[in-house]
A and B are shown apart, each in its own frame.
Chain A
Amino acid sequence: MAITRLGPNQDITAAKIAGQINFKNLIINGDMSVAQRGTSFSSMSNGQFITDRFFYDRAGLGITAVFTGSQSTDVPSGTSFANSLKMDVTTAQTLGPSGGTYFGVTTKVEGYNYKLISNQVGTISFWVKSNLTGTYSIVFRNNGNDRVLVEEYTINSASTWEKKTITLPTFTTDGTWNYTNGMGVSIFFCLAVAGDNDTSTIGSWISSGVTSIYGSSNNVEFASSTSNEWFITGVQLEADTSASDFEFLPYDVNLLRCQRYYYAHEDNVARVGRQLSSTEGGYDLPFPTVMRTTPTFTYNSPSSDLVQVNGNNQSPTGYDSARSNFGTKSAYIAVDYSSNGAGNNVSCKIILSHSATSKKEFDAEL
């Protein structure tokens, strides 16, 4: 990041601050560089996050298609991107006219951030690549699910990175929108949609039949062949009539922004705690940033951790959710183990395992 130094009596002009980070991109992790959950997910179920903030989104009847989603290193040449999100069809399915079915990838913008573009014209830009050329669509949806906007883009050349830019109509204030810590707007990159869930109204906000609109009637049938792959990176949504260069953030800043929504603790660190009884000890675990809302807690493989009391090692058998506390800034976790003979208030040391399979997960995704 270049820094322009201003002398005394010099005005700050647009030219002087051009290129400085100003968080203009409302999409978090648009460069797909953060993947806290893992880098490849086969046979994905609905809602599976692939890279942080981007998840596999599907619904409908009779779904047989199967996808693998992954963080890829296939990126547009000549750019600074290091990663993309890849969708790969592993079991094919053609949707046809009915079934209410759709497949795609969604990211959601929190209301506090969405507010920055509300009632303004926006532009979305991204790099995309697929062997399957043709028309694809993007669906913008509000919190109340009573306004939807469908836009189209075309992949012109097979297996070639192409940059797409779409200027959007003013984000309407009609309907029910969230401007705080709820979902401000969801952005669905449609890969396939059944005929009873599509629309031919492109480029303007729709207020009728919104709950059954998930793509354009021109959308390709991406799931029709196991040869099909789709890559995307550099997703940027900004309040402007044209797209500017993708705003790269330092990795730590990007990671921290992702951790507002999901935090996986997998550091090999020790926490000091205190026994609540001879079979239970509690410790504090602070979060790196304030989470969006009270998170869901998942304690994977507690027995991989270690509790030390009076010099004796014990493996936890689980945790006691009734004596644990989960806030937006930290968690207090009460772990269970077999009796060690020591009583209440005896200090204990809890050594947390460094392993992707034993991580503690805190999920406050939209």
Chain B
Amino acid sequence: MINSAVYIYDEFGNKVYIDVTYSGEITRTVPINNENRHYQEILEWVENGGVIVDNGA
């Protein structure tokens, strides 16, 4: 289960990853890529009310 998610920007200022913390304190870096299953899970989490924190580049 996802606890929190934060957008990560690369050194060019592009939004490229999402750092996700799951229950159990596991952290994953998930690429913003529709073919990635964890990214698909995040989109589902957002559809159900989850919010990805965006702290900017």
B residues contacting the other copy or chain, number (CB 8 A): 18
The answer to whether B31 touches A296 (Cβ under 8 A) is yes
A295 touches B31 (CB 8 A): yes
Instruction: Output the nearest chain A residue to B41 by Cβ-Cβ distance.
Output: A47
The one of B11, B28, B33, B37 that contacts A297, using a Cβ cutoff of 8 Å = B28
A325 part of interface (Cβ distance < 8 Å): yes
Contact of B35 among A292, A299, A324 (CB under 8 A): A292
Residues of B within 8 A of A325 (CB): 10
Complex Cα spacing A324 to B9, Å: 10
B33 → A minimal CB distance (Å)? 5
The B1-30 residues at the A interface (CB cut-off 8 A) are 8-11, 17, 19, 26-30
Q: Are B33 and A293 in contact (CB under 8 A)?
A: yes
Q: Is B48 an interface residue (CB 8 A)?
A: no
- In the bound complex, do residue A297 and residue B35 qualify as a contact, i.e. CB atoms below 8 Å apart? no
Q: A321-B29, A325-B10 are in contact. Are A293 and B36 (CB under 8 A)?
A: yes
B35 touches A181 (CB 8 A): yes
Contacts of B10 in A (CB 8 A): 322, 325
Contact residues, A321-355 vs B (CB, 8 A):
321-326
Contact B29 A326 (CB under 8 A): yes
Cβ-based interface call for A298 (8 A): yes
Whether A294 lies near B33 (C-beta < 8 A) is yes
CB of A220 within 8 A of chain B?
no
Check A296 against B35 for contact (C-beta < 8 Å). no
What is the size category of the interface that chain A forms with chain B?
A: 20 to 34
A322 partner, pick from B8, B30, B31, B35, beta carbons under 8 A: B8
Q: With A and B bound together, what is the CA distance between A97 and B13 in angstroms?
A: 52
Check A322/B9 contact, CB under 8 A, given A295-B31, A296-B31, A297-B28.
yes
Determine the residue in chain A with the shortest Cβ distance to B6: A321
- How many Å lie between the Cα of A321 and that of B10 in the bound state? 8
The answer to whether A321 and B8 have CB atoms under 8 Å apart is yes
Interface residue? A134 (CB, 8 A): no
Residue of A at shortest CB range from B35?
A: A293
Q: Is B11 within 8 A of A296, CB to CB? A: no
**B36 A296 Cβ-Cβ under 8 A:** yes
Other-chain residue from A296, A323, A324, A326 in contact with B38 (beta carbon distance below 8 A):
A296
Most buried by B among A181, A322, A365, A366: A322
Kindly provide the distance from the CB of A179 to the nearest chain B CB, expressed in whole angstroms.
14
Report whether A294 and B28 are in contact in the complex, using a CB–CB cutoff of 8 Å. no
9 A-B pairs (CB sep. < 8 Å): A292-B35, A293-B33, A293-B35, A293-B36, A295-B31, A295-B36, A296-B28, A296-B37, A297-B28
Task: Give 11 new A-B contacts, CB below 8 A, not counting A296-B31, A321-B17.
Answer: A181-B35, A293-B35, A294-B35, A295-B31, A295-B36, A297-B29, A298-B27, A298-B28, A298-B29, A326-B29, A363-B37
Interface on A for B, CB 8 Å cutoff?
181-182, 292-299, 321-326, 363-366
